[in-house]
Amino acid sequence: MSEEISGSVVEGFEKVRQVFADNFSKGGDVGASVAVVQDGEYLVDLWGGWAGTRPWQADTIVNVWSTTKGFVSLCAHILIDRGQLELDKPVADYWPEFAQAGKAKITVRQLLSHRAGLMAWDEPIPPEDMFNWEKLCSMLAATEPFWEPNTASGYHARTFGHLVGKLVQCVDGRPISRFLHEEVAEPLNADIFVGVPSELEHRIADLCEIPGSQWDAPDTDNETNTDGVSAQDMSSTTEFSNNSGFELTERMIKAFSVPEISLSIVNSSQWRSGVFPSSNGHASARGIATIYGTIASGGTYGDVRLFSPAATERMREAQPTARDIVIGAVAGETTWGMGFMLNNPAGYGPNPRAFHHGGIGGSLGFCDPEANFGFGYAMCAMGSPLDDRRAARLLFSVYECMRNK
C-alpha cells in the first residue's frame, strides 16, 4: 500500500521519512505518526495513513497502551524532584491503606521498578468496575504480594497505573489524570491524555490488528531485538495464546487477564474517557516525543522547566538485571529503572543508558540523554510482540541520520 506521508523532517533526516513510508508498504502500518524532538526542535514530525475511515491528521491521537506507564512514572518523578515523595520511604507512609497484607515495608522504589509483587488484582474485575478508581485501588491495597517484594522484577501489566497513580494522588491530592494534564501536558503543549475529553473524541483513531508484514528477517549485525518494548503489554491472553510462539506462563496469564480488555472495549467511548492509567493513555507521536525530549534535556523544554536534571538520572537508576518473572518468556533479561526500561541488554540503538517505555502493538516513547533527543511513535495497527520492527527501524534510522550529519 502506498500512503501519502505528511509533515516534515529537517535536512539530513530524509532517511526517517523513507523508513516511515516503508512501514506502510512493507510493515503493515495503516495509520501512524513518528516524531523526534531535540532541544525543543522537531527534527522529525511525520504522519500518514488512515485513522479508521478518515486520513490520519497532525492532531490524530490513539490509544498507546503501556506507553502510558511512562507518563504516570514521570508524574511520580516530578513529585520526587520537588521533595514531596522519596524513593526509599514505604508507600504506606503516603498511602496508609497500602500497609495491609504484609505490604507495610514496600518502598516507592520497589513500586516503580515492578518489584512490589503486585502484578495483578487477586480477584476478577467485572466490566462495570473497570473504571471504579477508588474500588480498584482499595482492592490493590488489600492484595497480598504474589512473591516476596524486592526479590524479583515482575511486570505489573495492568496494576502499575493504579499503584503509582494512587500514590501521586495521595501525595498531591489531584487524581492522576488531572495531575498529568496540569503539570505535564499543558505546560509542554503535549497531546497526551489519560481520560480524553468527550469533545476531543473525534480525533481518536480506532485500534486494529496489523494486516501482515513483509519485512525480511532482522539484520542482527546492525539492529538489536525489541523484545523489551514490544513485550511490555498484552491486550488479551487469547490473542497471544493463538499465535504467540511462546508458552504463556501462569503469572503472565494472571497479569494480563485481570481485567480482560478487548479491542472492542479499547475502541469504546467509555475506555477513551475513563481512567485506567496502565493502559488507556491516548497520544500522538508528537506528544510522546515532546515528553521524552524534555526528559532527555534534563527537564527543560523551551522556557518550561518541569524538573531538574537529577530527575532524569533517577529515572534510569538501574535495578537488578534479571529475567522478569512475568514477561521473561518474551523479554528475557531486563533492567528496570524507576518506571522505565533501560536499553540494556537488548533494545534500541547504541546507548545502553538510553531508556524507554512502549506498549502492545508497537507504540514507543524513547529517551537518549547523551544524544539529547526524545522519540515517539504511535500507530493504530497492532503488531506481534515477537517480530514487530516498525518503531525499531525508525529509531535506527534516526541514529543513522545523526551519525551522518
Please state, in angstroms and rounded to a whole number, the distance separating the CA atoms of residues 14 and 27: 19
Rounded CA-CA distance 17/10 in Å is: 10
Residue pLDDT, tens place only, 147-162: 999 999 999 999 999 9
Least confident interval from 103-107, 126-130, 188-192: 126-130
Q: What's this model's pTM, rounded to 2 decimal places?
A: 0.92
pLDDT score recorded for residue 387: 80
Q: Residue 11 and residue 84: Cα distance in Å, rounded? A: 43
Query: Of 237, 154, 184, which is closest to residue 73 (Cα–Cα)?
Result: 184
For residues 128-152, average pLDDT: 97
Cα-Cα-Cα-Cα dihedral sign, residues 52, 376, 346, 86: negative
Q: How confident is the model at residue 222 (pLDDT cuts 50, 70, 90)?
A: very low
CATH topology of domain 5-85+191-404: Beta-lactamase (3.40.710)
Q: Mean pLDDT over all residues of the chain?
A: 90
Strand partners, 323: 333
pLDDT score recorded for residue 348: 87
Q: How far apart are CA 137 and CA 159, in angstroms?
A: 9
3-state secondary structure labels for all residues of 258-296: CCCCCHHHHCCHHHHHCCCCCCEEEECHHHHHHHHHHHH
Domain map of the chain by residue range? 5-85+191-404
pLDDT at 377 over 70: yes
| Confidence class for position 233, pLDDT limits 50, 70, 90 | very low
pLDDT of 241 > 50? The answer is no
What pLDDT, on a 0 to 100 scale, did the predictor assign at position 378? 98
Query: Omega into 259 within 30° of 0, i.e. cis?
Result: yes
CB 97 within 8 A of CB 117: no
**pLDDT single digits (tens) 49-87:** 999 999 999 999 999 999 999 999 999 999 999 999 999
Cβ-in-10-Å burial (0-12, 13-18, 19+) of 173 comes to exposed
pLDDT score recorded for residue 232: 35
Output Rg (C-alpha) for the chain, integer angstroms: 19
What digits encode the pLDDT tens for the residues 187-218?
999 999 999 999 999 999 999 988 755 544 34
| Residue with cell string 488531572 | 178
Q: Where are the alpha helices (DSSP H) in 9-94?
A: 14-25, 67-81
Mind listing the pLDDT tens digit for each residue in 284-329? 999 999 999 999 999 999 999 999 999 999 999 999 999 999 998 8
Per-residue pLDDT, 224? 36
Closest-CA residue to 227 (of 376, 322, 344, 339) = 344
Task: Report phi then psi at 166, rounded to 5.
Answer: -70, -35
Give dist(CA 73, CA 51) in Å, integer.
28
For residues 234 and 240, is the Cβ–Cβ distance under 8 A?
A: yes
